Amino acid sequence: MAMNVLLSFIAFFRRGTRGFRLLEETILLEAAIRLGYRRGGKLRERIAWINLVQRLEGGREVNAYAMKRGRPRFDPALRLTDVNGEIAMATFSFRSISGAPFKGTVWLVDGQFVSIEFDKATDRILDEEPVALRVSLWV
C-alpha cells in the first residue's frame, strides 16, 4: 500500500510540460514589467530556469518548477521579497478572445515565483493572448 502511494506521488510530480504557454507567459512578463528593472529581471530569470509546468484542474492551477537532478531548485538570489511562506505577488484580470472574463493570482513561496491560480479552467485558451490584461502588484 505505501509503495503504491509513493509511486502515485512520483508519477504526479513528473507529469507536466517543459514551459509556459502564451497566456501564462504573457501574464508573467507583464508582472515582470510592473516589478521594475531589478525585481522584474529576477522574475524573468526564474521563468527562464523553469523546466516543469504542471496544470491542474483544466489549467485553473499552474505550478512551476526549476528542476535539477529530479529535485526542485530554488536560487536564493532570485527571491523577489524577504517574506517567507506563501504570499500573493500579484492579481490579474483579462478577457479571452471570445470575451469571457478571467481573474487570478500569481503566488510566491519563500520569495520566489511558484504558481498561477485562475478563477476558472484555462485549458481551452492557453494559446491565446489575454485581452485587456490588468496586473496589480502586492509585493
Mean pLDDT calculated for residue range 14-43: 94
Domains in the chain, number: 1
Whether 86 is in a domain gets the answer yes
Whether 12 is in a domain gets the answer no
Cell of 48: 527562464
Residue 131's domain comprises 18-137
Do 78 and 45 touch, CB atoms closer than 8 A?
yes
Other CB atoms within 10 A of residue 133 CB: 16
- Encode pLDDT of 48-95 as tens digits: 999 999 999 999 999 999 999 888 999 999 999 999 999 999 999 999
Whether 4 is in a domain gets the answer no
Instruction: Tell me the longest C-alpha to C-alpha distance in the chain.
Output: 51
Whether 22 is in a domain gets the answer yes
- Encode pLDDT of 118-137 as tens digits: 999 999 999 999 999 999 99
Number of residues that make up the chain: 139
